[in-house]
Structure 1
Amino acid sequence: MKHNLSPFKRSRVSFAVMAAVLSVGAYAEDAGVQAEQVEVIEVRGIRASTERSLNTKRFADGVVDSITAEDIGKLPDITIADSLQRVPGIQIRRSAGEGSTINVRGMPQVTTLLNGEQFLSAGSITKVQPDFTDIPSSLVGSMNVMKSPTADTLAGGISGTVDLLTRKPFDLEEGFSGAALAEASTGSYSEETDPKFMVSAGYNGDRFAVLATLSYDEANLANYRYGSTDDGWAYAPFENHEEVSCWFCPKQDMNGDGDSDDAEFTYVSYGIMNRFTERERLGATVSFQAQLSDNWTFSSDVFYTDMDDADRHKGITADNAWGGHWHWQDQHDPINRGVLDNGHNLYTAQDITLNSPRVVSHSESHTNQRESTNFNFELEFKGDGNFSGKARFITADAERSHTENVAQGYLTNGLAHGLRRNDGSGPIAVNPGGYGPNPIPMRLNFKGKHPSLTGPSELQGEVFGSNINRYAIVSTYSENNYDEEASLDVLRLDGEYQFDYKHLEKMSFGVRVGQRDVTRDQFVLLAPFSNPVGEGSVNVMWKDQGLAAFDTNGDGEVSVVDGDITMGANTPFNFTSLPAGWVEKNSDFGPVNLGEYYFVDPRQLDDPFAFQNALYPGNIRGGVPGSSYKIEEQTQSVYWRADLSNDFYRANVGFQYIETDLDIVQNEVGDSICTNCPGEVAKDVGDIVTARSYSDFLPSVNVAFNLRDDVILRTSWGKTMTRLDLKALGGGLTISRARAGDELAASEGISPDLLIATNATMQGNPDLEPWRAENTDVTLEWYFSPSALVSVALFNIDLESFIESAQWQIAAEDGDGVVRRNVTVNGQINGQGGTMEGAEFSYQQAFDFLPGFWSGFGAAFNYTYSESESGKEGFGGEPLPLEDNSKESGNAVLWYEQYGFQFRLAANYRSKRLHTVSTPGGMGNIGVWTEPTTYIDMSASYDINDNLTVYMSGSNLTEEYESQYAQWEDNRMAQNIYERRFTLGVRGRW
């Protein structure tokens, strides 16, 4: 059964855009004019689009790859990122199985432009690369991937720049024309039928033209997560803890080898998770062009996107009570990985019994409401003389609201880790009907094709998980909620002067001023809890039934934490305690058979206030000042470029100079405003304002040598920079504090209840410098037919600076304002640089030289090798590459086009890549890697006549999944499962 998301909240702008689209479409229908089908907007046919893309590449000013709308529409690709992965050197990252963001030559520092200029995307307000799931591909006419810089291209990409080009109404044939499509998609696991509709209508008159496109689609995407639930929360606990002060380290022999000098690698939590993404997306464009006179042309564009989505999780997790019981594993067939710095032998295992103090039925919902509108106005002058110019004004706004809401239903009673409720009459188990008091043995096995997590087949005479009376909501909370909004204004003046002087062809020059404002307000939900041992109430974020009442040493006595004993509601899963429809039974865990369990329906969590208030009335927004900020970014730039040519070469040389001014308003984080919640939920005690400036001089040279009529040797050199993610600048400093306790209080002469500084997090560093690099390319291209190419490229990216995580010490105040110690700060700094170098090979050809039926075939193949160094070292001292870079990647496409029939089969390969660098306690840096993947896609279509086409496509035909391992290839720790998707559709044009 399909459930719709909340209705879109349409702005006045969105209604205006929709009205314009519909009015143009109605006008075209009333006119009854049958014009040439709208494929004149895009190149028709695979062979024709291949020729157009190669022609763009051949005569480009630098190293460029191009994709036309025919490629976007007829490759089996769901998003723009999926289409871009066909370009040599581009690797994509996936969200719910769809391509969402890209790397160019192994680096994500890629700028994306809209018609040659900056634009705002609601899914990535603080960044320069959008989330491509925001943007319907049908709104885009073509894409250019520029891998070498030119002086007149807006700087912002280290390894490349992607320019999304919309269709222009003057490109239409005269008169009215239009197109429409309707399609339905389904997934192999989601089994929903998802619709998509697109209509495009345009008119090209003698002196003016207009084009409008409207796209609407829904999607239900299944993906599953197996294994560790957190990439970074790991540890290497060791035996004989008497030798080291380590309260959570085990005393017993962990792996049964008879000695006490071992350590084991473990994560804090493992699970089998069902995850579904539901999305509604609307996109619209309206473009207008007018020939004001023979010399003056006016153009305007509106580019609008609106997307609501919900990412919902439900799964069974087993954990060690988040750090309280690190000795919870029994390793079967452990592998010795060597000796740690502390002298202990480190072991890992792929078959483990988790003696779980806590087993949870976990439900979670993340929702987003995103909306963006980009306006563009241009006035272009082309006179009879040598001078031409353009004035351009851009204004845009974007906003995003994000929520996260969690409900954890215990199957365990909580006694195994000392979690007890207390209403003032004495402690009892937080979940009296749950399993316990002993830990529950959960068998975790990574040795098969997919990881498995198996509960006890029988426990106390019943099948584990089958009795709804065993479940109760013990913990619920809503965190990481935020509202973001941004605005952008750009004024740009460009000029060009043609020369007829020896090799000098023309000079281009321009000035640009821009301002981007970003505001972020992050919050959690807090509810008032009564204080049975004190007066009044306290605000609580983590609403645990056993909140602040713990048996910390197992002696049966409940200690009071921070002077408060509070009690959450008693909310068992049975149908009399919770509203109707809140609880559902689920056995869908993808290809893994976990059994049937009960869950709080994640849809009930979509509205955090409604859900939290139903259990704990009176929720309020609690500010997170360390993650809230306001930033104003102003840029002023000038560029100059000279183009030179003769029969042997084409070249452009120039520079771009950019000044950047930043006004950064961070919040000073004060005392906590709640009980049992992270220290960052605190008072905002003032602003920290930083005003700073920096400048960049970016020269560039591109030269193409015509070695023969069909062979080009292309060389380029230039300096590049990428603007910072503003989130990395604006976050504040948060100091975490904990109760001193008796031992420290006695040694330092302080109260045991004093909150002392323990560590700190710098969520933003206003002193960060941008990524900067020096790029060199050499490419040899052979165009041996209009639809054929063989090329080889060598590239080098020398990173002068980049951003990396680091730790440093600062003096920090305790809760009474006295500085007694230094604490470690985790944050980001500018690294000392690194390198990215490699080679690309590309081949594509239409086999039109073959006879008859065989002349319809064609093929394309590309391969990229990129070697990188980040300057970091892993656990064994090995150098680590840049994150998310695959050393090897490639694409292969076989296509056929003849007699109205088109078919494509495409494969995309990535070698292993560094997913993240984790720092488990006791181990130092380890690399978390994603194993190699190959995705297979296909598409087919048939032209019933010149105006009507039926088509189908399939993505991820083999149901490829992505497995991750920690440090050692045989130490798998997680797996992401994506589904196969099929689409059927019909496309018409008039």
Structure 2
Amino acid sequence: MTSTKLNKITQGLKLALVVGATISSQQVTAQETQQAEGVETIEIRGLRASTQADLNNKRFADGILDSITAEDIGKLPDLTLADTLQRVAGVQITRSAGEGSAVNIRGVGEVGTLLNGEQFLSAGSITTVQPNFSDISSSLVSGIDVHKSPTSKILAGGISGTLDLKTIRPFDLKEGFTYVGSAELTRGNYTKENDKKITSFFGYNDEKFGVTASISWDTNTLANYRLGTPNIGWSGAQTEGDAWDGIGEDRTGDGDKNDALVTFIGYGNMGRQSERERLGVVTTLQAQLSDSIQMVADVFYTEMDDADRSIGMVADNAWGYFGWEEHGSDLVKRGVISDGGLAGADLYTSNTGVLNAPRVASTSESRTNDRDSLNMNLEFTFDNGGPLSGSVRYLHGEGQRETTHNIVQAFLTDGSRQNLFRNDGTGEIPVHPEGYSDLVPIERDFSGKHPQLKLPSLGGGMSDYAIVSTYSEENYYEEATLDVLRADGTYEFDTSHLRAVEFGVRKGKRDVTRDTYVLLAPINQDGLSNDVMWKDQGEVANDTNGDGEFSRAGGDKTIGYDNYLNFANLPSSWVIQSGDFGPVNVGNFYFINPEILDDHIGFQNELYPGNFKASQPGDSYKVQENTKSAYFNVKLDGQLGEMPYKANVGLQYIKTDLNVVQNLLGSDVICRACPGIVADVGDVVTDRSFSDTLPSVNFKLNLTDELIARASYGKTMTRLNTRNLGAGMTVNSTINQGEVSDVPVGERYAVEANRGGNPNLAPTRATNHDLTLEWYFTDSGLLSVAWFKMDVDSYIATDVTREYVPDPSDGVVRRQVDVRGPVNGDGGSIKGWEFAYQQGFDFLPGFWSGFGAGLNYTYAPSTSDTLDFEGNELPLAENSENSGNAVLWYEKDGWQFRIAANYRSERFIGQNGRNFGGGGLALFAKPTTYVDMSASYDFNDNISVYFSGSNLTKEFEDQYFQWEDYTVAQDIYERRLTMGVRGRW
């Protein structure tokens, strides 16, 4: 462990303890507490005990709930929070670099997430209500409640459910001191790095005062390869006709030229790895100030620095040669394009063929994230044993994130087919004269297990590569603050049915600011100067009429770079040789080391001095959200004949005030060689308010001592992603094919615009219904069935409008273009079933009594108002119709073993592509099955060793366009094995 990181851990612990000791001056986050006196402390250790605790939480819950309890302090069942959550029936996760990062419940991703019962900030996703689960180490969490039915007391924020992450409290511990620590190593089958994790927990409880402090530090290097097309959105229809993007010949052999082939701007073999370093510090102070007043103070701090780095051999059509792809023998006719500019054309696909590439590039890329968040809570509870009890709490959160994105493209081609030339003093020559001058024939074969591109021999030395283009874009800094003040109360009644009334008020304020920028560098040549983003070794800006005003569309004078950046002339530490593309072997190539791209300004200045940050006003904004809410909940408890029942009927009212500040885009182009960087001429301020009244009903009936029936009804809503509200317009362009000088200025570029946000969006709202039947046939046995229905009233969708925008070539407003942006769609519905079985086999003799098993399955078909290419109704985004889990575990004589499999059917991602008619082609991820295991042995009550493996079968994820047999990309993850030692005193 580095001294810097040790200092961070020490500082974090000091911060936590100081906050606890000086609680009167702090602002923090909270959770429900229990009286220290008269309550038995139940210690949960082991698989069987945690399984029984999960069932007890579910059995006695007021609503429909699933629970996950740590097997010991800092020991959840899986390596990550999302991986643990995927074991719950109905929960599906999305992976990043193989680890779970996002969660949906019953096919809907709008899931509210709380920390100890309240809202919190996560630095990895401070614009949304759900955190990036890779931010938070699982060892900091003692349990997770998955609320599938709404109750008025739970803060509204999720459509399909709410997750409540819980941390351990001092009064949960045995009296005296408790210490738990662990150290482990993890290794991936592709990355082959020895990743480390160290955790430490300290707790003290004397029944009147207690304190806990937990620290987790880890490093990880994760494989995240990508084979196929690097960017799904860069797709379109390659036509046979004689239009500017056509090829002018009958390639399908049907006797006409009225056909189109689905194609992409580029294809590649990408070797990607994510390197992460994460620190988490959690501390809690708990004190019984008097017989009736208790105080709880919490600090929850997370910090993660990561770099997603990639190297790739990428072939593309240079954004202009759209007739570049020749199909293979597996050509399939898919249908007729129904509308748009290609209406009536027959559409074809092919998994094999030849790419006649005008450009082949060795591409290196680095995207870094430095992020941290601090959530603090202070809570006082009152309970004197009388009918009235309550609590007051205040919390404050801060989060920030800085992201950089740096790219360098080194050509193996010479650039002449893109009209890229430089002047070495003797006249114009291609930017990379040693490069390949003709179209490069590349074999594309996506018909097998893994997509592959096979390049012909283009030479094997470093001199065959030269940096031609480099730039830094999509950089941003965002920060947020959160302040919440709330009061809750309960008044209990001594009657046969009315047991209690719960009530509360809450006021919250969330501020989010985002500033997005690119790096520009000045260039000077022949007395002319310009600032550019894309530093291309060729034409970067042109003086169109000799007056010193520049555009990217050809002119009398050109400003360009004439320095030649051949790999053989670069510092040796800059260049690496690699063929690491995961499971495919397509040869070794040279690349710029992506690690040196982490410093985006430093690297760009090494090549082109004087880089400075230029704000992108179209993707910069401020959003303030103020909420006021109140709830009222009536709790009923009694008998219906011989059957006990419990119920709660409540109402939650929320008033939301929004202040959205966007930037007004002017017609002046700040950077002539980087479309979309236009003048910020003022602010567009939108103030609006809306309110939601959310009823909820939960009913529980004990048909017998073991058989429980439940029913629930409720309305739900989710807070809006601030980026969907605040982001403005960005304008992009691609050059039309042909000689630039022959095309009028206004037609030299195909222009499109994207509006990232819409301040008038309404939140997503839904009406939920649930029915469940649960049979608890033993202390560790459950058999249950659930029916659910969600009617989503309004969903965030994308629509296209025609608007006048500044032309990116010169800033002049001369035409209307398609503008894509978020709108409120008509919504959709999900109606399905859940089945669950869980049991410990302690009724079996001897060795066999240590076994236990769990099975669950969810069927969640969905509908929406969106249609695919063939006119079929598409499901809701990120929904899988079928999902399930199978778990087998064993615990006896100090041994613990667990193997788990998670299945998810095809997942709808969204619609992409151009010129296909309608909203484009539907993009799906194919079904996946992930298998994980863990094992441990307890030498005694204090020391244990453990071993675990994730993704044992090295599962990968295929993505296909519209038709299951048309694969376009594949994400490759790795098997990871962990071994460690754990101590407890």
Alignment partner, residue 828 of structure 1:
822
Corresponding position of 2:469: 475
Counterpart for residue 686 of structure 1: 682
SS at match of 1:678: coil
Q: 1:291-310 alignment to 2 at 5 Å?
A: 291-310=288-307
* Equivalent position of 2:33 in the other structure: none
Which of the numbers 756, 759, 767 marks the counterpart of 2:760? Answer: 767
Assess if the C-alpha contact under 8 Å between 2:541 and 2:673 holds in 1. Answer: no
Whether the 8 Å contact between 1:5 and 1:308 is mirrored in structure 2 is no
Number of the residue aligned with 1:782: 775
Q: Does 1:17 align with 2:35?
A: no
Bigger shift: 411-420 or 167-176? 411-420
Q: Give, in whole Å, the separation in 2 of the partners of 1:661 and 1:258.
A: 62
Task: Give the structure 1 partner of residue 728 of structure 2.
Answer: 732
1:700 aligns with 2:700: no
Give 2:336's aligned residue.
339
Q: CA deviation at 1:5?
A: 13
Cα offset for 1:371? 0.7
Using a 3 Å threshold, how does the CA distance of structure 1 residues 48 and 952 change in structure 2: closer, same or farther? same
Partners of 1:592 and 1:740 in 2: CA distance: 35
Please name the residue that 2:314 is paired with. Answer: 317
**Identity level (%):** 53
Aligned to 1:32: none
Which of the numbers 791, 802, 825 marks the counterpart of 1:798? 791
**Equivalent residues in 2 for 1:187-266, closer than 5 Å:** 187-241=188-242, 246-255=243-252, 259-266=256-263
Tell me if structure 1 keeps the 8 A contact 2:75–2:142: no
Which has the higher mean CA deviation after the structures are superposed, 501-510 or 62-71?
A: 62-71
Q: Relative to 1, partners in 2 of residues 1:75 and 1:818: Cα closer, same or farther, differing over 3 Å? A: closer
Post-superposition offset of 1:16: 3.2
The answer to whether residue 879 in structure 2 is matched with residue 881 in structure 1 is no
Supply the AA of the counterpart residue of 1:721.
M
Deviations 1:845-872 (A, max 9, x none): 0001111111110000000000111210
| 1-structure distance, mates of 2:459, 2:42 | 58
Distance 1:407 1:119 in 2: 38
Q: 1:9 to 1:624 in 2, by over 3 A?
A: farther
Name the CA distance, whole Å, in 2 between partners of 1:901 and 1:644: 44
Q: CA deviation at 1:346?
A: 2.0
Contact 1:5 1:280 in 2 (8 A): no
1:536-935 equivalences under 5 Å are: 536-548=528-540, 561=554, 565-575=558-568, 577-647=569-639, 648-670=644-666, 671-679=668-676, 681-735=677-731, 752=745, 758-812=751-805, 821-924=815-918, 925-935=920-930
Q: Is the 8 A contact 1:740 1:753 kept in 2?
A: no
For the aligned residues, what is the CA RMSD?
2.8
- 1:377 Cα deviation (Å)? 0.2
Alignment of 1:285-434 (within 5 A): 285-341=282-338, 342-422=343-423, 426-434=427-435
Q: Residues 497-512 of structure 1 correspond to what in structure 2 (within 5 A)?
A: 497-512=491-506
With over 3 angstroms needed to count, the CA separation of the structure-2 counterparts of 1:69 and 1:585, relative to structure 1, is same
Give me the whole-angstrom Cα distance separating, in 1, the residues matched to 2:761 and 2:748: 31
Unaligned runs of 5+ in 2: 23-39, 545-550
Supply the AA of the counterpart residue of 1:247: W
Letter in 1 for 2:404: T
Q: 1:819 to 1:434 in 2, by over 3 A?
A: closer
Q: Which residue of 2 aligns with 1:977?
A: 972
Structure-2 change in CA distance of 1:178 and 1:12 (3 Å): closer
Give the TM-score taking structure 2 as reference length: 0.92
Displacement after TM superposition at 1:12 (Å): 11
The answer for the alignment partner of 2:44 in structure 1 is 43
Q: Are the counterparts in 2 of residues 937 and 954 from structure 1 also a CA contact under 8 Å?
A: yes
User: How far has the Cα of 1:531 moved from its partner?
Assistant: 4.3
Assess, with a 3 A threshold, how the Cα gap between structure 1 residues 390 and 549 changes in structure 2: closer, same or farther: closer
C-alpha distance 115-7 of structure 1, shift in aligned 2 (>3 A)? closer
Whole-Å separation in 1 of the counterparts to 2:891 and 2:673: 64
**Partner residue in 2 for 1:35:** none
| Aligned equivalent of 1:956 | 951
Match of 1:149 in 2: 150
SS at match of 1:151: coil
Tell me by how many angstroms 1:45 deviates.
1.2
Shift in alpha-carbon separation, 1:282–1:465, aligned structure 2, 3 A: farther
- Opposite residue 119 of structure 1, the aligned amino acid is F
Once the 2 structures are TM-superposed, how far is the Cα of residue 746 of structure 1 from its aligned partner?
12
Tell me, in whole angstroms, the C-alpha distance in 1 between the residues paired with 2:315 and 2:731: 30
Q: Tell me the SS of whatever aligns to 1:55.
A: helix
Superposed displacement of residue 578, structure 1? 1.5
How has the CA–CA distance of structure 1 residues 917 and 788 changed in structure 2, closer, same or farther, with 3 Å as cutoff?
A: same
After superposition, the Cα gap between the structure-2 partners of 1:364 and 1:969, relative to the gap in structure 1 and judged at 3 Å, is same
**CA displacement, residues 221-245 of structure 1 (integer Å, 9 cap, x when unaligned):** 112100011111111121132xxxx
Q: Which amino acid aligns with 1:282?
A: L
User: Which one-letter code corresponds to 1:470 in the other structure?
Assistant: D
Q: How far did residue 13 of structure 1 move?
A: 7.2
Provide the rounded CA distance (Å) in 2 between the counterparts of 1:800 and 1:389: 35
Whole-angstrom distance in 2 between the partners of 1:980 and 1:601: 25
The number of residues matched between the two structures is 950
Deviation of 1:98 (Å): 0.3
CA distance in 1, matches of 2:49, 2:746: 75
Conserved 8 A contact 2:20-2:298: no
How many Å separate the matches in 1 of 2:532 and 2:742? Answer: 30
**Cα-to-partner distance string for 1:793-850 (whole Å, 9 max, x where unaligned):** 0000001111001111234466999865433211010011210111000000000111
**Letter aligned with residue 633 of structure 1:** E
Whether the 8 Å CA contact 1:228–1:974 is kept in 2: the answer is: yes
Structure 1 residue 589, shift from structure 2 partner: 1.1
Contact 1:483/1:522 (8 A) holds in 2: yes
Stretch moving more, 318-327 or 859-868: 318-327
Amino acid at match of 1:677: C
In structure 1, C-alpha distance between the alignment counterparts of 2:662 and 2:211, rounded to whole Å: 45
C-alpha contact 1:668 1:733 (8 A) present in aligned 2 = no
Distance in 1 (CA, whole Å) between partners of 2:968 and 2:690 is 43
Q: CA deviation at 1:736?
A: 5.4
Partner of 1:136: 137
How far the C-alpha of 1:261 sits from its partner, in A, is 3.0
Cα distance in 1 for partners of 2:306, 2:772 equals: 42
Give the conservation status (yes or no) of the 8 Å contact 1:757–1:823.
no
Residue-by-residue CA offset, 1:571-601 (whole Å, 9 max, x unaligned)? 44434x2123000000111110010000000
Q: CA deviation at 1:948?
A: 0.7
Q: Equivalent residue for 1:93? A: 94
From the superposition, tell whether residues 76 and 545 of structure 1 become closer, same or farther in structure 2 (CA, over 3 Å).
farther
> Any stretches of 5+ residues in structure 1 without a counterpart?
25-38, 459-463, 553-557
Report deviation, 1:451.
1.1
- CA positional deviation for 1:770: 0.2
Cα distance change, pair 817–596 in 1 and its aligned pair in 2 (3 A): closer
Contact 1:365 1:406 in 2 (8 A): yes
Q: Secondary structure at the match of 1:676?
A: coil
SS in 2 for 1:945: coil
User: Shift of residue 739 of structure 1?
Assistant: 10
Q: Any conservation in 2 of the 1:75–1:938 contact (CA below 8 Å)?
A: no
1:545 counterpart letter in structure 2: Q
After TM superposition, the structure 1 stretch with the greater mean CA deviation from structure 2, 801-810 or 857-866, is 801-810
Quick check: 1:488 aligned with 2:451?
A: no
Closer, same or farther: CA 434–875 of 1 in aligned 2, 3 Å? same
Deviation at 1:894, TM superposition (A): 0.3
Contact 1:110–1:157 (8 Å) recurs in 2: yes
Shift of 1:754: 10
Q: Hey, what does 2:440 align to over in structure 1?
A: 440
